[in-house]
């Protein structure tokens, strides 16, 4: 039975609190569980927002959302960008996503002890049913990104990533929705946004997902306020690199952690055809060390061929401009990754990496780049 909380009290077997006290208390305990920041949005502060801000899609009768922040480890990021160590950041990703999702679940249970209805929304890879491809065509059940901005946890940067004041975009969000009409936090003042359009995010992306000097904006309205970031190209372009089908930057001097170099079409309309060719080829590659990706850990998959290879547009960003410059320089001088037959990954100068791949027998090389049938037959 729905509770209208007309008396302003949340009451259950754990005791009773006023609605205002409940908001303060849930933030306090979430920090004890490991969140570094907590923000609250509600129906009023999200009014007029995109479909993925509809709290009632997750739980009918929802009135508010509590979003939690868990940051990545800076030293693991540094080693990842430098091509010194991939697995430390991947393990940190797994831990951070699991912790954030666990905090959301714990918060839902905590609210239930006070007689409230609540549902947790996991940190990543939760998408609405519908036509099209996950990550590309479908909306998430709930956009932690939009809720984070609406509840004052960060700003949109040029990239559309959410920039927190302390950790930049290098955080994971998870959310709990509830029927308690919690008081919303205010969005951060835009004049305090540290994004200066330096476009380090752009310089770190081999796919061309962002547009240099883009003037056209994606405008998001929530709670009577407008927020914006640079208009992006097709999400299929981002996914092509993040999934590891191509890691090589067009200049040939550096790459992501992926050793593949299936070409990225200039026209977004041609991307799906490239996917169809690249996916079966990539499945022939040796599996590197390093465990599972975030999706594999958080959602119970047993595949061991899912692994982190990019995320650079977030990782190079930092609230301090000097650190941003240092990170993008580190990435650009990190070399190009190749893969040995034993699965081992190694970064080397671009010209050496090109020669390494060219020297592969065509039958093996086709797992890393397109090889025509005539060459395979040699």
Q: Which pair of tokens denotes residue 22?
A: 């409940």
Kindly list the distances between the CA atom of residue 3 and the CA atoms of 10, 22, 59, 178, 292, in Å, as whole numbers in the listed order.
Answer: 9, 15, 14, 11, 42
Going through the chain in order, the beta strands assigned E by DSSP cover 9-12, 15-18, 37-42, 64-71, 118-121, 155-156, 162-163, 171-178, 217-222, 225-230, 336-339, 345-348
Q: 259: closest CA among 350, 324, 197, 174? A: 350
Per-residue confidence (pLDDT) for residue 301, from 0 to 100: 36
Per-residue confidence (pLDDT) for residue 212, from 0 to 100: 63
Residue located via tokens 């990190």: 334
Confidence class for position 294, pLDDT limits 50, 70, 90: very low
Tens digits of per-residue pLDDT, 93-142? Answer: 989 999 999 999 999 999 999 999 999 999 987 777 765 555 555 678 89
pLDDT above 60: residue 304: no
Confidence class for position 343, pLDDT limits 50, 70, 90: confident
Tens digits of per-residue pLDDT, 228-248? Answer: 999 888 888 888 898 888 999
Q: DSSP readout, 342-372?
A: TS-EEEE-HHHHHHHHHTS-HHHHTTTS---
Confidence class for position 306, pLDDT limits 50, 70, 90: low
Q: Where are the domains of the chain?
A: 12-183+193-367
> What mean pLDDT, rounded, does the chain reach?
89
What b/e readout covers 19-31, taking b as 16+ CB neighbours within 10 angstroms? beebbebbbeebe
Kindly give, in sequence order, each residue whose CB lies less than 8 Å from that of residue 78, ignoring residues fewer than 6 positions away: 327, 330
Burial of residue 257 (CB within 10 Å: 0-12, 13-18, 19+) is: buried
Chain length of the chain: 378
Confidence class for position 321, pLDDT limits 50, 70, 90: very high
């Amino acid at each position: 039975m729905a509770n209208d909380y007309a008396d302003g009290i949340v009451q259950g077997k754990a005791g009773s609190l006023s609605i205002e006290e409940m908001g303060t208390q849930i933030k306090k305990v979430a920090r004890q569980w490991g969140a570094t920041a907590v923000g609250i949005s509600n129906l009023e502060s999200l009014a007029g927002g995109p479909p993925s801000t509809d709290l009632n899609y997750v739980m009918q009768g929802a009135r508010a959302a509590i979003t939690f922040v868990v940051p990545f480890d800076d030293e693991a990021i540094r080693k990842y960008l430098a091509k010194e160590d991939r697995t430390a950041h991947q393990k940190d990703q797994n831990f951070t996503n699991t912790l954030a999702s666990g905090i959301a679940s714990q918060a839902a249970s905590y609210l239930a002890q006070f007689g409230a209805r609540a549902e947790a929304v996991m940190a990543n890879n939760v998408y609405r049913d519908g036509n099209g491809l996950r990550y590309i065509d479908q909306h998430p059940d709930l956009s932690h990104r939009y809720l984070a901005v609406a509840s004052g946890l960060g700003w949109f940067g040029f990239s559309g990533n959410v920039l927190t004041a302390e950790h930049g975009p290098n955080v994971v969000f998870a959310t709990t929705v509830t029927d308690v009409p919690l008081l919303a936090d205010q969005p951060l003042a835009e004049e305090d946004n540290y994004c200066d359009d330096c476009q380090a995010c752009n310089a770190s992306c081999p796919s061309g997902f962002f547009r240099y000097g883009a003037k056209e904006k994606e405008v998001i309205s929530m709670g009577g306020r407008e927020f914006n970031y640079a208009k992006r190209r097709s999400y299929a372009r981002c996914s092509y690199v993040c999934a590891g089908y191509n890691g090589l930057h067009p200049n040939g001097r550096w790459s992501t952690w992926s050793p593949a170099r299936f070409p990225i079409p200039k026209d977004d309309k041609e991307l799906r055809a490239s996917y169809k060719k690249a996916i079966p080829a990539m499945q022939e590659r040796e599996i590197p060390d390093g465990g599972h990706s975030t999706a594999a850990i958080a959602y119970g998959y047993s595949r061991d061929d899912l692994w982190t290879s990019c995320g650079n547009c977030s990782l190079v960003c930092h609230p301090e401009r000097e650190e941003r410059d240092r990170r993008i320089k580190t990435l650009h001088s990190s070399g190009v990754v190749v893969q040995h037959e034993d699965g081992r990954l190694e970064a080397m100068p671009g010209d050496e990496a090109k020669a390494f791949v060219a020297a592969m027998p065509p039958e093996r090389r086709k797992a890393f780049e397109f090889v025509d049938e005539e060459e395979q037959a040699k």
